[in-house]
Amino acid sequence: MMSPEYLSMLRPFILSWNLRNILEKPSMLSSGEFCITGTGLGEYPIDAWKTYFLEVPKCGYKKDLTGRSNYAVGIGMKNTKWNRKRIIALPIYTHSKDPGIEKLKVLIKHWNEVYIPDDIPCLAIAIKCHGSYSESREAQSVTVLIIWYDSVSRVISLDWAEGPLEDCITPEWYVETTPLLNLREALGKTRSLYENISWEKTYFSIYTIPSCLGHELQGKKVRASYAQWQHEWRYSNYTELKKDLNLLLSKIWDIFFNNSSESGRHG
C-alpha cells in the first residue's frame, strides 16, 4: 500500500494526468508543481526546417537520400514518409524550480498507479553533435535514449546532412534504432557517443525530459526552441560534453536502482 508521504508526492501527477482532458490547464491544479500534463508525438531536437519524428522503423532503419538523387540524375523523387503508428509519444512535464528527482523516483516506481499507459516512456535524453562534414556542408547527428518505467530502453539516432552543392532544402538523413534493451546496455551505448567524430567546427548539446534531469549539468543552459525539449545544455568541445554525459547517465541509473527494494524487476 502506498505510504501517505508517497501519496502526497504523487498527488500533482495523479491530478494533472487524470484530469488533463477535463480542465483547460491541468497544471493550474498545482501551481508551480512538477507534474505531467499530457503527451506529444516524439520529435528530434534538430535545427532543421521541418520536423523529424522519433519513429521506430519496422526494419530498424529508415533513410531519405532525395537530395543526392535529385542532383545525380536530375529526377524528383518522393520524400520518405513517417509512419505515425510507430512514432513514440513523449510525456509533457511541467517545468518547476524544484529539481524534482525524488518525486521522479516515486513517480516511476508507481507509474501504473497514476494510470499512465505502459507505452509512454518516463524519461528521455538527447545528445546532439553539430558540425561540418565536407566542404563546409552542415551536418547534425542526434541520439535519443528513451526509457520506460520498468527500465526497458531504446536508443534511436538521426544522422542529417546537407546534400551536394547547395541542396539543403532536401537534406539527406538516416534513422536507426536498437531493439529494446535493458538499462545497462542502453547506457553503455550512449556513454561514448561522438567520441571519434571527425567533423569540423563541432559543438554538442544535451536535452532532457524532464528538464530536472539536467539540474546539475555544467554546460551553457539556454531555453530550447522545441516544444518537448524545454532546455538545452551546450558544449564547445567533447571533453566538456563527456563529463556531463557521464554525470547524467549515472543519475539515471540511480533513479532506477539506488536504494530500490525492487531493483530486480528492472533487469
**pLDDT on residue 25:** 56
Supply the pTM of this predicted model.
0.88
CB count, 10 Å around CB of 194? Answer: 18
> Averaged over 53-71, what is the pLDDT?
81
**pLDDT on residue 27:** 47
Residue 13 has pLDDT above 90, yes or no: no
**pLDDT on residue 3:** 73
Name the residue with higher pLDDT: 180 or 15.
180
Percent above pLDDT 90 for the chain = 61
> Averaged over 83-94, what is the pLDDT?
94
Name the residue with higher pLDDT: 49 or 177.
177
Confidence of residue 219 (pLDDT cuts 50, 70, 90): very high
Residue 77 has pLDDT above 70, yes or no: no
**pLDDT on residue 31:** 58
- Strand duo 89-93 + 61-64: pairing: unpaired
Q: What is the mean pLDDT of the chain?
A: 86
Instruction: Specify whether the CB–CB gap between 109 and 150 falls below 8 A.
Output: no
Residue 180 has pLDDT above 60, yes or no: yes
Contacts 24+ apart (CB under 8 A), 41-44: 41/84, 41/87, 41/89, 41/90, 42/87, 42/88, 42/89, 42/90, 42/124, 42/144, 42/146, 42/228, 43/226, 43/227, 43/228, 44/126, 44/142, 44/144, 44/158
Residue 206 has pLDDT above 60, yes or no: yes
**pLDDT on residue 111:** 95
d(CA 25, CA 20): 7
